[in-house]
Structure 1
Amino acid sequence: MLELRAITAGYDRRDPVVRGVDLTIAPGESVGLLGPSGCGKSTLARVAALLHRPDAGQVVIDGEAARGWRHRAPREQRTAFGVVFQQPRLSADPRLSLTDLIAEPLRAVGLGSEVAARVAELTPVVGLGADLLGRRPHEVSDGQLQRACLARALVLRPRWLICDEMTAMLDASTTAALVHAVEAYRAESGAGLLAVGHDRVLLERWCGRTVQWTDLVE
């Protein structure tokens, strides 16, 4: 179970963008979080993924309270999450080839020996051609780069996926392919999903349960 309990968070303690929010996601469940741009849903997603420390409240992962944030989170909690952001060019190191981009989490936890096997396993899952793997981000399209970012999110086989506006900048065919890849992984692994977005039709088709931002804050 992933539990967000009374989360208050933001970037200025005097004016938080998230106030007292509760949200629970069961293992294997897919939850869509629907709300307009700027309402605070991306901040909540970052808190859920242990990337942003809340000002108040608690994140509980599989019955255990979060014990740190970002690089200070314990490895077993940090690696429980795979995250895909809205803008792949802001979340990808421009110096890395796509292979090295996908492999970043493996190398960070000392599993560099698994890079070749995991990249070969994941690239067809996300629909990324082998001919693209040696290219850098500026040499591929937004859709191709987001496919690599999704592979990076899956490479450590996380128990929880956070997709924050993952498809907002993509065309319909790439959106469908990435959603299919996420669902294939969830079916195989039993991972839970929090999908953040403002496209009601997409979230309601994708997720088993869709939560309105206004219902969380009222």
Structure 2
Amino acid sequence: MLELRAITAGYDRGAPCVRDASLTVEPGEAVGLLGPSGCGKSTLARVAALLHRPESGTVILDGTPVRRWRHAAPREQRTAFGVVFQQPRLSADPRLRLAQLIAEPLLATGRREGSAERVAELAEVVGLTPDLLSRRPHEASDGQLQRACLARALVLRPRWLVCDEMTAMLDASTTAALVTVVEDYRRTTGAGVLAIGHDRPLLRRWCDRTVHWDDVGAEEPEARRS
């Protein structure tokens, strides 16, 4: 289980943008976190994925409290997460071709053997044709680049996937395609998913339950749309 207990977090010694927030995600569960832009959802997502140390509170991963963050976190915890951010052009190195972008986590963890095969496998899964893999980010559309970023998030076979406004900049067909990829991955691996956004209908269709930002302390779920 992924547990966030009484998390308070902010940046640069300013006023915290997240205060006393609590949230749980069970293995195999998709939880939607719904709230308006600027409310602190993305900060909480970064805390959940071990990318940002909170000022107070506890993150518990599979019963073990997290003690270290980012690159200082143990590899088994760090690589348990895959993250897809809202703006792919800000999260992609513009110097890398899409194949290299997808392979980044493999190379960073010393898993070069079989990396080309894994990249090709995931490119097909997310809907990238082989000719697109040689392009750099400025040569790809937002949708193509976000497909590559999703493939990068899945390349280490994470047990937890954090989708932070993953589809906010995409058209309806690309949104449906990427949500389907995430759901297929969740179904076949038992991974837990935290999906963050402000599109209520999408989160209610996608997730097992949704939690409104105002209720992250109480975690009162909304009824899932049938």
State whether TM-score is above 0.5.
Answer: yes
TM-score (norm 1): 0.98
**Partners of 2:185 and 2:19 in 1: CA distance:** 32
Task: Output aligned runs, 1:122-201, within 5 Å.
Answer: 122-201=122-201
Aligned-partner SS, 2:102: helix
**Partners of 1:180 and 1:87 in 2: CA distance:** 19
**Partners of 1:81 and 1:91 in 2: CA distance:** 16
Identity %: 76
Aligned-partner SS, 1:118: helix
**Partners of 2:37 and 2:112 in 1: CA distance:** 38
Residue of structure 1 in register with 2:8 after alignment:
8
Deviations 1:140-173 (A, max 9, x none): 1000000000000000000000000000000000
**Partners of 2:139 and 2:14 in 1: CA distance:** 43
Instruction: Say if 1:106 and 1:114, in contact at 8 Å, map to a contact too.
Output: no
Deviations 1:82-112 (A, max 9, x none): 0000000000000000000000000011001
Deviation at 1:67, TM superposition (A): 2.5
The residue type equivalent to 2:119 in the other structure is V
Note the residue ranges of structure 2 that are not aligned, 5 or more in a row. Answer: 219-226
Residue of structure 2 in register with 1:63 after alignment:
63
The residue type equivalent to 2:110 in the other structure is G
Aligned-partner SS, 1:113: coil
Task: Output aligned runs, 1:50-89, within 5 Å.
Answer: 50-89=50-89
RMSD: 1.0
Q: Which runs of 4+ in 1 moved over 4 A?
A: none
Instruction: Count matched residues.
Output: 218
Instruction: Say if 1:19 and 1:217, in contact at 8 Å, map to a contact too.
Output: no
